[in-house]
Amino acid sequence: MGGKIMRIPAACCGLLALALFSTQSAGQQPLFFGDPLPGISAQDFERFRIGLEDFLEVEDPEEGLGPVFNGRSCAECHSIPAIGGGGSITEIRAGRRNPDGSFDPLPGGSLFQLFSIPPHNCQESPPPEANVIATRKAIPLFGAGLVEAIPDETLSGLADPDDRDGDGVSGRVHWLLDVGTQTTRAGRFGWKAQQATLLTFGAEAYLEEMGITNELFPLENAPNGDAERLRFCDPTRALEDVPDLSTGLRGIDNFEAFLRFLAPPPRGEITDTARQGEQVFARTGCDACHVPVLFTGASAHPVFDRRLVPLYSDLLLHDIGTGDGIPQGDALGEEIRTPALWGLRVRRGLLHDGSAATITDAILRHGNEAAFSREQFLALSKEEAEVLLAFLQSL
């Protein structure tokens, strides 16, 4: 990684170290948002800490930022309510839907980089041909390492693409070729489940969000696909994410380590009402997609070995009528991956575009595959709806 190293304030790491030891003694529950996974070794904690430093590092053009970008550091968009969380800004995807229904992402790809480095003559904007413009919110990253460790077979076991059981819910695995491992994998990260591993997601984000080329994504983004403009706008031609001389690690390795060891959100208080609400959640059919618990596979690494992952998601693609019209990989424009509901109590601006202000608004937007569940929700008594919301607010 290039140049300037962001210093983590001593107070931050003191707190982290405290969290490390206090959570170790308290068992599996992390105490705070942004903690490392309880029970990791001192060596893994060091990888987490170095990763956090890179995640916070604010990049300059001399270090490879740009020519086009959406943010200068990962943390800029992933910091609510703690580093590694979500964010309030949305980014733009756009393209053209043709009369025959096919989709053209237009030159430069469907993601638009809204900023450019000085002299600021390279930023992208949707061209006049674009007739689909969508926005997407950043996804909180807490517990990402546990999600990565859930076996592909678990996801294919949950999938029912042709709705054979006739319940109206037909989740699909997003199978894809993972760039990092060159193997076919079950996607699980991103609103379209467009990536399967943290290394590849982080590497793609480094290029797409910050304009930093790396070994997995070595080609700079040309503004609106215009190679001529790229030549004028891009002062740094060489590969930008090179291994650090002292650690031998690339920036993308450090992001992976930070995300892998980032603990899941600490659970809110589980009152009796919240417990009753969980039963309503199941009765209302929410758990057909928001599957309460999945498990990691067998792993030589104790913190990932057959662990419970209470994420409230099946990580599959569904059409609930909220799709953004942007196909991505094999995911259709209508499809969105079920978001995990853990940590819901600290999220504001729900659904992929942040357009639902409250949990009730988000539920009422569910249709198509979730139409039955929405009806069940509407048929709840006032008291039942209240305990359901109390449960959701405890997540």
Site string for ligand HEC, 7-46 (x = CB under 6 A): ----------------------------------------
Site string for ligand HEC, 87-106 (x = CB under 6 A): ----x---------------
- Compare residues 206 and 304 and give the one whose CB is closer to ligand HEC: 206
Site string for ligand HEC, 319-358 (x = CB under 6 A): -x-x-------------x-xx----x--x--xxx------
For residue 326, what are the CA distances in angstroms to 17, 134, 219?
42, 8, 23
Binding-site residue total for ligand HEC (CB under 6 A)? 51
Residues 190-209 close enough to bind ligand HEC by CB under 6 A: 190-191, 198, 201-202, 205-206, 209
Q: What is the CA radius of gyration of the chain?
A: 21
Number of other CB atoms surrounding residue 83 within 10 Å: 19
Instruction: State the minimum distance, in angstroms, from the CB of residue 209 to ligand HEC.
Output: 4
Residues 259-318 close enough to bind ligand HEC by CB under 6 A: 259, 284-286, 288-290, 318
- Compare residues 40 and 193 and give the one whose CB is closer to ligand HEC: 193
- Closest by CA to 335, choosing from 177, 184, 140, 190, is 190
- Compare residues 20 and 52 and give the one whose CB is closer to ligand HEC: 52
Check if the beta carbon of residue 262 is closer than 8 Å to that of residue 37.
yes
- Compare residues 240 and 369 and give the one whose CB is closer to ligand HEC: 369
306 residue type, one letter: R
**Is 189 a residue that touches ligand HEC (CB under 6 A)?**
yes
Is the link from the previous residue into 310 a cis peptide, with omega within 30 of 0?
no
12 residue type, one letter: C
- For 362, how many CA atoms within 13 A lie in the half-sphere containing its CB? 19
For residue 295, what are the CA distances in angstroms to 152, 175, 189?
11, 20, 16
- Compare residues 22 and 329 and give the one whose CB is closer to ligand HEC: 329
Instruction: State the minimum distance, in angstroms, from the CB of residue 44 to ligand HEC.
Output: 18
- Closest by CA to 190, choosing from 6, 9, 337, 330, is 337
> In angstroms, rounded to a whole number, what is the distance separating the alpha carbons of residues 353 and 301?
36
> In angstroms, rounded to a whole number, what is the distance separating the alpha carbons of residues 6 and 123?
26
> In angstroms, rounded to a whole number, what is the distance separating the alpha carbons of residues 167 and 90?
34
Give me 305's structure tokens.
Answer: 């070995």
Residues 125-184 close enough to bind ligand HEC by CB under 6 A: 136-139, 141, 144, 169
Instruction: State the minimum distance, in angstroms, from the CB of residue 367 to ligand HEC.
Output: 9
**Is 77 a residue that touches ligand HEC (CB under 6 A)?**
yes
Binding site for ligand HEC (CB under 6 A): 70-71, 74, 76-78, 91, 136-139, 141, 144, 169, 189-191, 198, 201-202, 205-206, 209-210, 255, 259, 284-286, 288-290, 318, 320, 322, 336, 338-339, 344, 347, 350-352, 359, 362-363, 366, 369-370, 373, 377
